[in-house]
Structure 1
């Protein structure tokens, strides 16, 4: 039986009535109705093609045939929960284990990055027998209540900061406390974590964990300064806590040179807990927490069973295995390295041409271009960024913004993104910036209401 379809206006009208208003659409003023996808492309109801520059969930490409075949084949054979013995979950755990440091040898499978981070919080608190958590400013770790509590990006919009949550400065060398001219920004930012720990101890409290994204995304596509994670982990462990690294946005080879972004810190570096999600299932809900044997044993010692109905089911694990196969067989890490370097170089050329481009940063296919109204003051050009996003939509290119001021154009495309795609995007951004700066006094920010901000998740 064919699924029911509606005209775009009818779809939008029905969605407005029956879907919660907090579930925002991309391009809220004029949403795009997408009906199919393939590779790095999306197609609307009129078969108009859009280039997807933000589809980091569809890691190996929309509707990759190898992944689709694996899902269909296992669906026809068996899909049940993990209380039955089955090979897929073991095979998948072994494949993941081969990509991680030896110490991270125990896995729990779940359905989303939010579930993974929630479990990581429980693991850290159980293992350390402490409650308090340190997080980075502007961080976002998921949409469960426990994670809103440790996500400054969210809790500052809501009820505020809990007594057991402590915020360390975001290690942003472009506009943070310590910038690119500092001789040792990694240690300087890690010392701010030590300062938070000392303050917590002065109040008679104890740290359970530092939660940190390997590359803070919502914070503005931030590249952590070298040495930061190593020194911060040292301080946290000395205080009796553990380091939880959130790879939900950045894992599975997105940085190109390494399978996990935290590995850029060096071969000797190893977190205590790693969470992963989004790209694992290429659009299928699949997530995981990897941890040391000691942490896993402390969690099991409670005697309380951890049961997740769908986490690690045979279909999910078959899909996860297929994603790993595609990454390897199609050399997507190599592609991320090559195409990402080319895209970054092209964006840097735009920086030399357009004063509004304040900074270009990133690694592999995780890149950000920060727009400013004044390079000396580094004043966020939020409205210009929104205009660029909307202009590119008119060119059938999907980009988005991030950062505390929503002035960072972010690039996290499917890993099959090509050099030709990169060249097209930068060409269109060049035209857009030239036109915008020709009509807007960039040095004088316009009222926010003048340029409707595109809605992105």
Structure 2
């Protein structure tokens, strides 16, 4: 057997330089100017090249925890037997399809396997057009559904990034995001869900007046790119009815919120008491291994004349997919998402009155958004504050995301093995860091000092979420940040939309 010489370690600077030299500039990094080099991960923790441990609050792809031993073991075993079987029968694909279908309503009974959420949503559009004979799609103005060409067109959050040269396609119809904090209809409106649903009906009517018939409506049950917006009660029930009455079908994009993440149910659409015609899933179902699926009715599936995917449904991916479902069931992670998610949300709600810059706390299960504003009356988005806060938390070894159209919403979608202790730690650190930012903002006149409870970091009343005593958060320094990276304008915490 030939012995390989051990590779010489690649330094942080060498890694960064090679990325700059050989990877496209449009491929962004988290904390782009001062990125982390992650060497390994376990459960809800990341470890950088200096051995420091970071609490991962954003990696919903590692759904059941980074490098879960059961998932890793199953994948290794299958990879040693058979990795590709395109065009042949393989039991892993069949068993996984049967298992997935068993978690869904009876009508959703046919699977198509692909390798990413983007592929899944693209296939869903093809299925909808094939079945209805109509290419036109309604999406929401704060939506993101993937990075393929067809999906960029139904992802309005990307339009700003594409610039004024981008023209909306005639087959795309955009409805308002049902955001009761920062939208046309607030939570004080009588039945905002019905009012926002009526906006979709107006879009349908306008399209028909232009001679265009709607083929599909697509939305996430929780609109993640808008900053974890949970549509109000009765919204989806009415929208689905309007779309079906005009001959269209309904697609639920479960890439972010499926597989128990919302806590109350296994699938996001179930919290809205609707049954979609097509469900798309990706990211978490492979726990980091490329795997995605589209599940639909037999009638819609049979309308597509031909489909094939070389890697979709390969035996390694499907064996891993089955292992992920094993872990969710055996470790009761749906129930955990409900309980730990409640800890997170209750904790942030508890500190909200003490922070003039926390405008809204929202979400469900392990999908939490904290919207920052300059003041609660004007609701002016505090984008710079969100960026600074993300870096402050990075210094405390906590990785948190930023979303929303104004990039002012701190978001959390951690692995489902996240614990109540993790939740308390994050809320405490968040409150301390934000209190310092708010005090400085008041000092320089950006906010009203009278609104600041104290110039000192406050103790968080975490007894509302646990009977344990409040923990102390240790201060950390970012030793890996270089002196030349201290430009506050250049530093940005990047959490770009991905598959």
Q: Could you give the per-residue CA deviations for residues 76-100 of structure 1, whole angstroms, max 9, x where no partner exists?
A: 1112234111111111111111111
Contact 1:386/1:451 (CA < 8 Å) preserved in 2?
Answer: no
Q: Is 2:62 the partner of 1:58?
A: yes
In the other structure, the counterpart of 1:232 is: 239
| Residue 431 (str. 1) matches residue 427 (str. 2) | no
Given that residues 81 and 311 in structure 1 are in contact (C-alpha distance below 8 angstroms), is that contact kept between their aligned partners in structure 2?
Answer: no
The secondary structure found in structure 2 opposite 1:55 is coil
**Which of 90, 96, 99 in structure 1 is aligned with 2:94?**
90
Tell me what 1:444 maps to: 446
String of CA shifts for 1:1-45, please: whole Å, max 9, x gaps. Answer: 556640001100111000000011111121100000000000001
Give, in angstroms, the shift of residue 450 of structure 1. Answer: 4.7
Tell me if structure 2 keeps the 8 A contact 1:281–1:319: yes
- Which residue does the alignment assign to 1:139? 143
Helix, strand or coil for the counterpart of 2:372? strand
Distance 1:250 1:294 in 2: 26
Residue by residue over 1:255-289, the C-alpha shift from the partner in whole angstroms, topping out at 9 and shown as x without a partner, is 111000110012xx210001000101000000000
Contact 2:34 2:491 in 1 (8 A): no
Selected match of 2:72 from 68, 91, 110: 68
Q: In structure 1, what is the equivalent of residue 346 of structure 2?
A: 345
Structure number with larger C-alpha Rg: 2
Partner of 1:287: 292
Q: Would you say the 8 A contact 2:253–2:280 is kept in 1?
A: yes
Structure 1 residues 272-351: aligned runs within 5 Å: 272-300=277-305, 305-351=306-352
**Contact 2:402–2:494 (CA under 8 A) maintained in structure 1:** no
Residue 157 of structure 1, CA deviation: 2.9
The 5-angstrom pairing of residues 16-31 of structure 1 reads 16-31=20-35
Query: In structure 1, how many angstroms separate the alpha carbons of the residues matched to 2:155 and 2:15?
Result: 33
Contact 1:361 1:368 in 2 (8 A): yes
Answering whether residue 495 of structure 2 is matched by residue 456 of structure 1, we say yes
**What is the DSSP-based 3-state SS (H/G/I as helix, E as strand, rest coil) of the residue aligned with 1:215?**
coil
Secondary structure of the structure 1 residue equivalent to 2:104: coil
1:449 Cα offset (Å): 6.8
Paired residue for 2:12, among 8, 16, 22? 8
CA distance in structure 1 between the partners assigned to 2:248 and 2:258 by the alignment: 23
Change (3 A) 1:101 1:330: same
Give TM-score, length-normalised by structure 2.
Answer: 0.88
Q: Map 1:183-198 onto structure 2 (within 5 A).
A: 183-198=190-205
Please give the alpha-carbon distance, in whole angstroms, between the structure 2 residues aligned to 1:198 and 1:20.
Answer: 42
Which residue of the other structure, out of 150, 162, 170, is the alignment partner of 1:163? 170
- TM-score in terms of structure 1 length: 0.96
Query: Helix, strand or coil for the counterpart of 1:299?
Result: coil
Q: Aligned pair 1:359/2:349, yes or no?
A: no
Unaligned runs of 5+ in 1: none
Q: Secondary structure at the match of 1:243?
A: strand
Distance apart, 1:299 and its partner CA? 1.1
Change (3 A) 1:69 1:107: same
Q: Residue 229 of structure 2: which of 222, 225, 231 is its match?
A: 222
Q: Deviations over 1:177-231 (max 9, x none)?
A: 1111012111111110000000000011111101111110011111011111111
Following the alignment from structure 1 to structure 2, what is the Cα–Cα distance between the partners of residues 154 and 415?
28
Aligned residues: 449
What's 1:398 paired with? 399
The match for 2:416 is: 415
Residue aligned with 2:371, SS? strand
8 Å contact kept, 1:54–1:398: yes
CA–CA distance in structure 2, aligned partners of residues 227 and 404 of structure 1: 24
**Structure 2 alignment gaps of length 5 or more:** 448-486
Task: Find the residue that maps to 2:303 and give its secondary structure.
Answer: helix
Instruction: Give the match's secondary structure for 2:205.
Output: helix
- 1: distance between equivalents of 2:493 and 2:382? 14
SS at match of 1:440: helix
Q: For residues 443 and 59 of structure 1, what CA distance do their matches in structure 2 show?
A: 43
The answer to whether the 8 A contact 1:42-1:50 is kept is yes
4+ long deviations beyond 3 Å:
1-5, 448-452
Displacement after TM superposition at 1:340 (Å):
0.6
How far off its partner does 1:297 sit? 1.2
